[in-house]
Amino acid sequence: MPLSFTDLAGDDQASPRHRTLAELLAAGSLSRAQLARATGLAPSTMTALVRSLRDEGVVVEVGPAASHDDDRRRSGPRGTALAINPDRVVAVGVDYGFRNVRVLVCDLFARALALRQARLPEGYSREEGLNAGAVLVREAVEASGVKPDAIVGAGVALPGPIDTLEQRVVQSEILAGWGGTTAEDFSRVFGVPVLIENDANLAALGEHNWGAARGHATTIIVKFHSGIGAGLIANHQLVTGAHGGAGEIGHTTVDPRGAVCRCGKRGCLDTVAAVPAILDALRHRHVNIGVGALLDLLGDGDPGAHRVVADAAALVGQAVGAACLLAAPDSVVVVGAMARAGEAALGPIRDAVERAAIPQVDNIPTVTRGALGDKHTALGAVALALRHRGWLPIRASRAVAVPPAAHDERRASV
């Protein structure tokens, strides 16, 4: 059975061991003195407990302790920081896109231990996706050098509706042929316990814990990519639909007589504002245009590229603005390919959100770009696995390291 937080800390939440490890988990790292003040334990008791936890290999020293508010009123050295041993807790994040799959292996602090990714054929089948993911998981785990018993599980992000309660893919044309696929199907081929979730929801979880939404209680994350999705964090909790379909703003109707969407509806936001629609609108002038070339055109100030992107982003902003009236978020974070367009996309979204807000009400959310590069969804999948075993506190972590980008985002494939 994968290691859970209570396996290490014990079931008694009032015990000194549980309280100490819970404080370390929430803060990332603390000195002995900081731990004693946070838990209310006597310094001598904390010293003995920390010695025992170090002897067990549960906690390790990680350098000088960071200064907290209470420390500013005290003199003397801050002491050595302690943290839960990150080698004891490892999670895998798997991110399926429409044409690729990425696998990220991280420790407890979201530090990347290994990354593997592969291109998939367009419209890849369930079997192709499962097999490709299984190969990459094995390669990434082997490359990370972690012990198998340190892996607490894997999160899997999929670009379609997921029944979170039943842990199965909902039958739809968005993931044709994947309907009925369960988390257990992934577990069987990956060799580790798996949870599955919609990709936009996991992008939200990643940015909330370790990215641009960290510190915000309520955030809408917009994935402006090959499809357009949204994830909602409300009071530090990921909001998911009971039977799939949550956050699918790309399938809101913007033109009842428009083109038929891959979901089967007509005139969805995806058909006019997602990346494929943006590229199609420019192909009469740029035959082989891709995302990298589009970003170059924007950087060069090409008026046609700016017009098409602004129109698409304004439509996305209208949908987001309507969602903001319902959820009242502190912030809106944009991720995905079009987030790399910067203000060319963020500006029209911000303007639309402001126009949708109730006049004279001072609660307009900020609109910013995500901070995790192209790893937002994979890191969200890591967070999903950690959270399930109790290794992710509800409040956002304050002591994590964001994995460096593996390649230039401007040239990343969609």
* φ, ψ of residue 240 in degrees (nearest 5): -130, 155
Long-range CB contact pairs, 243-248, < 8 A, 24+: 243/163, 243/165, 243/166, 243/170, 244/161, 244/162, 244/163, 244/164, 244/170, 244/172, 244/198, 245/161, 245/170, 246/161, 246/198, 246/201, 247/198, 247/200, 247/201, 248/161, 248/198
Q: Which CATH superfamily is domain 88-204+375-411 in?
A: ATPase, nucleotide binding domain (3.30.420.40)
Query: Please, which residues have CB within 8 angstroms of residue 24's CB and are 6 or more apart in sequence?
Result: 30, 35, 59, 82, 83, 84
**In contact, 68 and 38? CB cutoff 8 Å:** no
- DSSP-derived letter for residue 3 is -
**Res 66: pLDDT:** 78
Q: Which residues contact residue 45 at a Cβ distance below 8 angstroms, ignoring those fewer than 6 apart?
A: 16, 36
384: closest CA among 253, 203, 190?
Answer: 203
Amino acid found at 348: P
CA-nearest of 361, 357, 362, 379 to 370 is: 379
Predicted confidence band of residue 398 (pLDDT cuts 50, 70, 90): very low
DSSP annotation of 13 reads T
- The predicted model gives 267-296 an average pLDDT of 95
pLDDT computed for residue 314 by the predictor: 97
Structure pTM?
0.89
Kindly report, as residue ranges, where domains of CATH 3.30.420.40 are found in the chain.
88-204+375-411, 212-373
Q: Are strands 112-119 and 100-107 parallel, antiparallel or unpaired?
A: antiparallel
Task: Please tell me the predicted confidence (pLDDT) of residue 407.
Answer: 35
Q: Model confidence at 408, in pLDDT bands (50, 70, 90)?
A: very low
Confidence check: pLDDT of 294 > 80: yes
Strands 331-335 and 366-369: parallel
Q: Give whole-number Cα distances, 61 to 28, 34, 80, 88, 391, in Å.
A: 12, 14, 7, 14, 19
Whether the per-residue pLDDT at 406 is higher than 90: the answer is no
Of 92, 263, 238, nearest to 161 by C-alpha is 263
Q: Is there a contact between 115 and 103 (Cβ–Cβ < 8 Å)?
A: yes
pLDDT digits (tens, 9 = 90+) for 364-396: 999 999 999 999 999 999 999 999 999 987 554
**Which of 270, 240, 209 lies closest to 394, judged by CA?**
209
Give the pLDDT band (50/70/90) at residue 82. Answer: very high
pLDDT at 347 over 90: yes
Write down the mean pLDDT value for the chain. 90
3-state helix, strand, coil in the chain (%, to 5): 45, 20, 35
SS3 135: helix
pLDDT given for residue 122 in this prediction: 87
Q: What pLDDT is attached to residue 410?
A: 36
Tokens of 117: 């990714």
Least confident of 129-138, 182-191, 281-290, 393-402: 393-402
240 confidence band (pLDDT: 50, 70, 90): confident
Q: For residues 275-300, give the mean pLDDT.
A: 95
pLDDT at 78: 60
Closest CA to 272 of 308, 307, 306: 308
Q: Which of 106, 130, 137 is nearest to 206 (CA)?
A: 106
* Position 360 confidence tier, pLDDT thresholds 50, 70, 90: confident
Spatial contact of 371 and 334, defined as CB atoms under 8 Å apart: no
Q: Answer whether CATH 3.10.20.30 is correct for domain 5-84.
A: no
> Nearest CA to 262 among 158, 176, 192?
176
The model's pLDDT over 18-47, given as tens digits with 9 standing for 90+, comes to 999 999 999 889 999 999 999 999 999 999
pLDDT value for 366: 94
**pLDDT bracket for residue 234 (50, 70, 90):** very high
Q: How far apart are CA 46 and CA 336, in angstroms?
A: 45
Asked if 295 contacts 324 with a C-beta cutoff of 8 angstroms, the reply is no
Burial of 126 (0-12, 13-18, 19+ CB in 10 A): middle
173-177, 269-273, 297-301, 314-318 — which is least confidently predicted? 173-177
Report pLDDT for 217: 94
User: What CATH code would you report for 212-373?
Assistant: 3.30.420.40
Q: What does the alpha-carbon distance between residue 138 and residue 132 come to, in Å, rounded to a whole number?
A: 10
Decide: 73 and 64 in contact? Cβ < 8 Å: no
pLDDT in tens, 246-255: 778 999 999 9
> Model confidence over 180-214: pLDDT tens digits?
999 999 999 999 999 999 999 999 999 999 999 99
- Confidence bin at 413 (pLDDT 50/70/90): very low
pLDDT (tens digit per residue) in 137-175 = 999 999 999 999 999 999 999 998 899 999 999 988 878
Looking at residue 65, the DSSP 8-state letter turns out to be: P
